[in-house]
Structure 1
Amino acid sequence: MSSDLSLQPHPSFSGRPGPLLVVVADGVGVAPPGTSNAITEASTPTLDSLYATELYTELAAHGPAVGLPTDDDMGNSEVGHNALGAGRIFAQGAKLVNKAITTGAIFESDVWAEAIEHGRNGTLHLIGLHSDGGVHSSLEHLYALLRRAADEGVMSCAVHILHDGRDVAARSALTYIERTEAVLAEINAAGPNRNYRIASGGGRMTITMDRYEANWKMVENGYMCHAHGEGPAFASAADAVETMYAESDAGDQYLGRFVVDRGAGPVGMIHDGDAVVFFNFRGDRAIEISRAFEEPDFDVFDRTSASGDPAPDVFFAGMLQYDGDAFIPKKFLVAPPEIDRTMGQFLCAEGVKSFAISETQKFGHVTYFWNGNKSGYIDEHLETYIEIPSDNVEFDTTPAMKVREITDETIDLLRSGEYRFGRLNFPSGDMVGHTGHLHATVEAMEIIDECMARLVEVIDELDGVLVFTADHGNADIMFTVDKDGVRHPKTSHTLSPVPFAIHDPNYDGEYHMIEAAAGSDHGLANVASTVFNLLGYEAPSDYNPSLVQF
């Protein structure tokens, strides 16, 4: 470790004898109480107690506070954990791509030029989440790529869409399909012999967009659909969605795969020499499909079609590089933010032993994203990372998820006496909240509260400190009500602030929470400095200020 990672002792506070634990309750925002708020509808005496002390405040977790373009941009787990671990605000996903498109830099890269060359000689395929939710992708980014490809002479372009229904309204796919079909029609009408079309798709929780290797079958189903045209055939994407809507009450994220076939076979199979661009900017659900298209020796599943056709040899690129350490993908259109000097790097430089733990669905958030989009350990001699395997189920059927198991393991780590600092993620407020099922999310919150009571008890026993916060809202608004009084499930994140509470059993007024003034920009990036202070260190001078004052 270099000398610029050294920390100075705090001049008036040396920390507590026991460990400091940060609990990130994923998706637990702060919104007015009411029947749509799963958090306030739940019985949560432990959280209520934490929220009622003088060591409590609320933090911004969306928009510019986490590096996103505007206050209309919902936060998400990735940028939230980046901010928690980095202690500063870095331009993120959509903001990076917006700038690259505005300046034209995205179209001046060698990767774009090579994709266009392959597209001119074959077909350019664009795959990604098809909504304006702004968490994984943007329709405006897709449309910019489509229009530029047409301007540069690409005659054949196939769009493979992944329905959202999670970061946007549960059944909104038809609106987005209509919007995209209009753009494709405009492009086709502007020049002779252009063939821009929607070729295949399906729900984001059914095909293609798995993460953390939780369900490779999703990726296989998506790959076979996009590449080989395997799946139920429909005359159009709208026909596919309308048919599936009539057959079940499933939201868009759970719709089955489809292939567009107007009578002469699939309209957008992927062939040798084609270009494939995955236009999501968020990394977690883009890594596995990138590997399936990019790796020549890929062996997780057989990429051969049902009719015996081998995997097509394509030029593949991502909107961003989704894993900078593993170099996935090798080619990308926009460089990711370079996040350096993270909390973990400073603590390792000081020889502080730490642990990070969650279940599969959020394990990468307390490791990879917390560490500035870097895989693996910073120092394997000082750090312990524990992943508890997630179940491959719809999470409203198991609202506890692995919260109790995470708690059991955390208590063992705390009581071992080996660790000065630990962090965990309870995923259920977010993952169950995304299903839109209010009662299941209420149950999830009550289990979180039950486990928080156990953690508070152990922190008291060990004379430590517990910090409770969240990365964004979700469970705080579970449905909206239209003018006719009809409830509509809200499966997306919210723009709500998140809680920040310190439980310090030895607290005797040595510090106080800085009160957020009107318009305050206190957000998740302020947490790192606060943690350093509570551990007995001064925060780095370029970090966002601490939330406590001594």
Structure 2
Amino acid sequence: MAFGPLRRGFVEWCDKPATKTKQLGNSVRPPPDGAWLSGDYFGRCSNITLVSLPAIHSYPRGHSLMSTAKKPLVLVIMDGWGYSTKQEHNAVAAAKTPNLDRLARDYTSTLISGSGLDVGLPDGQMGNSEVGHVNIGAGRIVYQELTRISKDIQDGDFFQNVELAKAVDAAVTKGKAVHIMGLMSPGGVHSHEEHIMGMIEMAAKRGAEQIYFHAFLDGRDVPPRSAQSSIEQFDALFARLGKGRFASMIGRYYAMDRDNRWDRVQQAYDLMTLGKGEFTADSASEALAAAYARDENDEFVKATRIGAAAPMQDGDALIFMNFRADRAREITRAFVDSDFTGFARTATPALNFVMLTEYAADIKTACAYPPTALVNTLGEWLAKQGKTQLRISETEKYAHVTFFFNGGEEACFTGEDREIVASPKVATYDLQPEMSSEELTDKLVGAIKSGKYDVIICNYPNGDMVGHTGVFDAAVKACEAVDHCIGRVTDALAEVGGECLITADHGNAEKMMDEETGQAHTAHTNLPVPLIYFGRKAEVAEGGKLSDLAPTMLTLMGLPVPPEMTGKPLMILK
């Protein structure tokens, strides 16, 4: 996509209303049992449909077609679609995107920030989908758990955390082990390795003699083969403390599944509970070298036991150090759910399990950093104003346009519908870069023409999900598929007199090669993202960020902005 010269200065009805849950930063309460994609994902939301287009035209609770057809304001979020002036290895720039090029040229357009301090992350930290959607929906900067926990470590408060201390002390008193698991990565998307090192140090200082680290390898939010530097840091920590060691290693592909692929999760579970893996190694460095020799990047490293077996036993403590919920839920349920049915568990040790943040409201175990309330998100405010809204995406990003966008609300608001399109069942999305974008667009166009909705929120996952594979040609095809769909969407809006804001939650596909390492770049970026307003003539305010989008939408609709929203309207109508 050639974004073109910026025109600066122009630029479900529910059976019950939602009840607020608690939220702080991106520690939003994930939905009850059933994973992100299931039809009963939002148990109190009666109008979630999977793939049938006619369902979008059904009018529950006596809605009359004789009412004036609505002209919707659509927010299209092109996931993983950043803007870079560098053309090389830039799938967004290389893609043929005539529709977006025309829209950026002929309508008000600019760039906005989706990373760092502007979304409540540390300065320079790349954004991510969860953080982006929380900020967009909140209409204010929402400070993230990465920032909160890092600050607690710096201030020393982390080492006095009640739930963490309780679990460690109980293990020490009984002479039991402290197991720590989590994504060993500096990426800061699902975890941060500094948090894990802080937990290891805390366990050692409180007297734990048996400290075992079960490392999940990243290679997705960081370069594909970058784990060695992290291993060296942890080995140095163990040497300094005189206690603790690596017990196992496995790629996040297995340990952090979020799509009910329980065969993957079982490999991680058996590795940790039984101390049995497909491979063994004397050290973490040796395990990683062997994985690379098998041509396994970090994300896909197979289950490897390190050193003597350290199976989990009754009375041991297990601390899960991921702070992001979506990829932490399945493995957590395998450990704590008494009625777990994902796979047959060979061992079910009675563990003192602590989740760093709350992964789901119905996961009944200790939580070190429980969430607090976030009030008057865009979805809640639209409901209070009597407006109807639709949330729609593929499986991969459905949670983001619903649960995260609503600030951790598990139920839909009055007048809110939700539509989910199944993402293709392929091993990696470079094998089908268009994903289910055409089917998603069929449903979106149907919703636009239905006259039913005041607001529609839609996410196209392609740029992010294919960008994560590191396959340049596939990422180009993904961007072209999204552009084609954008053309269909704006055509439908023009037909009914609707409007559209087109943006992204963070960058990814615009940088497909890491110039420093020479490896494929599979992570997000901290680059700006586009914002295009397909609608009336307007001037654009500069210096925008994701949290400005909700106030912008409300202003375009002629609605008041709630006082909790501190973002600024970016589009000023002429």
Confirm or deny a common fold (TM above 0.5).
yes
Q: Offset of 1:327 from its aligned partner?
A: 4.0
* DSSP 3-state at the match of 1:75: coil
The answer to whether the 8 Å contact 2:183/2:252 transfers is yes
Match in the other structure for 1:512: 539
CA apart distance, 1:538: 2.5
Query: Is 1:245 matched with 2:292?
Result: yes
More deviation, 280-289/36-45: 280-289
CA distance in 1, matches of 2:329, 2:388: 30
Structure 1 match to 2:73: 20
> What are the equivalent positions in structure 2 for 1:226-265 lying under 5 Å apart?
226-231=272-277, 232-248=279-295, 250-262=296-308
2:432 maps to which residue?
Answer: 398
Match of 2:239 among 170, 185, 197: 185
SS in 1 for 2:519: strand
- Contact 1:215 1:392 (8 Å CA) reproduced: no
Contact 2:391 2:401 in 1 (8 A): yes
Counterpart-to-counterpart distance in 2, 1:103 and 1:327: 31
- Contact 1:116/1:154, CA 8 A, preserved across alignment: yes
Aligned residue type for 1:316? F
Query: Which residue of structure 2 lines up, in the alignment, with residue 102 of structure 1?
Result: 154
Contact kept in structure 2, 1:512 and 1:548, CA below 8 Å: yes
Secondary structure in 1 matching 2:255: coil
Task: Tell me what 2:48 maps to.
Answer: none
Question: 2:568 aligned with 1:545, yes or no?
Answer: yes
Which residue does 2:365 correspond to in 1?
Answer: 330
Contact 1:38–1:439 at 8 Å: present in 2 too? yes
Shift of 1:257: 1.6
The aligned counterpart of 1:449 is 483
Consecutive unaligned residues in structure 1, runs of 5 or more: 3-15, 189-193, 305-309
Once residues 29 and 404 of structure 1 are traced to their aligned partners in structure 2, the CA distance between those partners, rounded to angstroms, is 22
SS in 1 for 2:216: strand
Residue 195 of structure 2 aligns with which residue?
141
Residue of structure 2 equivalent to 1:155: 209
Q: What percentage of residue pairs aligned between the two structures are identical?
A: 36
TM-score by length of 1: 0.88
1:530 and 2:567 are equivalent in the alignment: no
Q: Secondary structure at the match of 2:514?
A: strand
Taking the TM superposition and a 5 Å limit, the aligned residue runs for 1:427-466 are 427-466=461-500
Aligned counterparts of 2:112 and 2:317: Cα–Cα separation in 1: 43
Counterpart contact for 1:91–1:337, Cα < 8 Å: no
Q: Is contact 2:260–2:330 with CA below 8 Å preserved after alignment?
A: no
**What is the rounded CA distance, in whole Å, between the counterparts of 2:170 and 2:467 in structure 1?**
42
Amino acid at match of 1:241: L
Runs of 4 or more, structure 1, over 4 Å off, are none
Aligned-residue RMSD, C-alpha: 1.9
Aligned position for 1:347: 382
Deviation at 1:133, TM superposition (A): 1.0
Asked whether the 8 Å contact 1:19–1:419 carries over to 2, the reply is yes
- The structure 2 residue matched to 1:130, chosen from 180, 184, 189, is 184
CA distance in 1, matches of 2:426, 2:209: 41
Is the partner of 1:499 in helix, strand or coil? strand
Whether contact under 8 Å (1:100, 1:334) holds in the other structure is no
- 1:261 to partner: Cα distance: 3.5
Distance of 2:178 and 2:135 partners within structure 1: 35
Compute the TM-score of the two structures, normalised by the length of structure 2. Answer: 0.84
Cα distance in 2, alignment partners of residues 270 and 53 from structure 1: 62
How far apart, CA to CA, are the structure 2 residues paired with 1:530 and 1:217?
44
2:376 and 2:564 in contact (8 A); partners too: no
Which residue of 2 is the match for residue 5 of structure 1?
Answer: none
Partner of 2:322: 280
Residues 53-112 of structure 1 deviation map (CA, whole Å, 9 limit, x = unaligned): 351111110011111121x21100011000010000121021111122233333333312
Letter in 2 for 1:373: G
CA distance 1:75–1:475, shift in 2 (3 Å): same
> Could you say which residue in structure 2 is the equivalent of 1:223?
269
Structure 2 CA distance for aligned equivalents of residues 24 and 404 of structure 1: 15
Contact 1:198 1:260 in 2 (8 A): yes
- Greater shift in the superposed pair: 24-33 or 44-53: 44-53
Letter in 1 for 2:418: Y
The one-letter amino acid paired with 1:280 is: N
Q: Secondary structure at the match of 2:468?
A: helix
Between the two proteins, the alignment pairs up a number of residues equal to: 503
Distance 2:114 2:363 in 1: 27
Alpha-carbon spacing, 1:336–1:104, altered in 2? closer, same or farther (3 Å) = farther
How far is 1:33 from its partner? 4.0
Q: Paired residue for 2:95, among 42, 46, 70?
A: 42
